[in-house]
Amino acid sequence: MKIVVCVKQVPDSAAAIVVEDGKVNWGDAPIVINPWDEYAVEAALQLTEKYGGDVVALSMGGDKAKEALKHALAMGCSEAILINDPELAEMDASGAAKVLAAGIQKVGDVEMAIFGKQAIDNDTGVTPAMTARVLGWPMISLISAVENIADGSIKAKRFMEEGNQIFESKLPAVASIVKDYSDPRYPSFMGIRKASRAEIPNLTAGDLGISKPENKVKWFGVDNPPVRDITNEKIEGETPEEIAANLVSKIMEEKVL
């Protein structure tokens, strides 16, 4: 079974992000593999460990995106491909989906394309579904476990707020993975060595036989969240009862209740 796992390079989740002139500035934040995508890589590796096959990591982005791919290789993916073309910069999710779908088709004979549930930079969470649409494959989202893969179909569990849903789908399909699937493994030292030596091929729009998809969504600007003015005050008192009474009168005074 051949699985493509799509990974994205994003600023570290602890990074302080600021908005300047309507544009997001990551500053010198460390760039890491999107944390949700680590779960996707883990799921893909576990599936090929169980059912056989290879995992190809696919990313779209500039040279920096190679780090996300190298992380995926160090975790155990057998191959990595980067779609790196300045022509394809600044795309919306539907554009990204078209490009990724072309990448998945270029790999060929893919039975599953696996994504993280969302990317922590834009947080739209729609790229997997849009990619499924472009490919014409079923979209199986928010997978927390795979029960079985046999005879060209997959039986899996979806994690939803209301509970779990067990379903079956035909393959090939696009899946997105949630945290409950399994903790992602650390890269192994052997994997690190392999990854650091790997030459990752760069594909352009031309190589994929596509032209730049037109953006459907326009970003007019991004704002910083409003600054919140917070003051802390410690409610004191001799006894717990007195502290509670002081707290209640403070709440009434501030008209919180």
Partner 1 sequence: MDFQLSEEHRMAQKMVRDFAAKEVIPVIQEWDSKQEMAPHFLPRMGELGIMGINIPVKYGGQGFDYITLGLVCEELEYADSSLRVVMSVHMGLNSMAVLQWGTEDQKQRFLVPQAKGEKVAAFGLTEPDAGSDVAAMTATAVKDGNEYILNGEKMWISLATKADHTLVVCRTDMNADKPTSGMTAFMVENARDGVTSGDIHGKLGVRAGSTGWVNMQDVRIPEENRIGEEGEGFKISMSCLDNGRYTVAAGATGLIKASLDASVKYAQERKTFGVQIAEHQLIQQKIAHMHRDHEMAQLLYLKAGWKKNLGERNTRETSLAKWFATEASFNAASEAVQIHGAYGYSDEYPVERFLRNSKGAVIYEGTNEIHQLVQAAYAFGWRKDRPLRKELPAFDPDVWQE
List of residues contacting partner 1 (CB under 8 A): 70-71, 74, 186-190, 192-193, 195-196
Minimum distance between the CB of residue 190 and partner 1, rounded to whole angstroms? Answer: 7
**Under a CB-based contact definition with an 8 Å cutoff, are residues 137 and 30 in contact?**
no
189 vs 220 by CB, closer to partner 1: 189
**Under a CB-based contact definition with an 8 Å cutoff, are residues 77 and 57 in contact?**
yes
CA distance 186 to 172: 28
Q: Which residues of 94-119 are buried (b: 16+ CB within 10 A; e: fewer)?
A: bbbbbbbbbbbebbeebbbbbbbbbb
Beta bridge partners of 83: 60, 203
4 vs 195 by CB, closer to partner 1: 195
Length of the chain: 257
Task: Show the tokens assigned to 31.
Answer: 């760039």
CA distance 50 to 71: 22
227 vs 257 by CB, closer to partner 1: 227
Minimum distance between the CB of residue 46 and partner 1, rounded to whole angstroms? Answer: 17
**Under a CB-based contact definition with an 8 Å cutoff, are residues 142 and 126 in contact?**
no
CA distance 18 to 28: 11
71 vs 158 by CB, closer to partner 1: 71
Minimum distance between the CB of residue 142 and partner 1, rounded to whole angstroms? Answer: 23
Minimum distance between the CB of residue 72 and partner 1, rounded to whole angstroms? Answer: 12
194 vs 212 by CB, closer to partner 1: 194
CA distance 54 to 7: 16
Minimum distance between the CB of residue 186 and partner 1, rounded to whole angstroms? Answer: 5
167 vs 186 by CB, closer to partner 1: 186
37 vs 85 by CB, closer to partner 1: 37
Minimum distance between the CB of residue 10 and partner 1, rounded to whole angstroms? Answer: 15
Minimum distance between the CB of residue 23 and partner 1, rounded to whole angstroms? Answer: 26
CA distance 18 to 156: 40
Half-sphere exposure of 104 (CA within 13 A, CB side): 29
Beta bridge partners of 164: 159
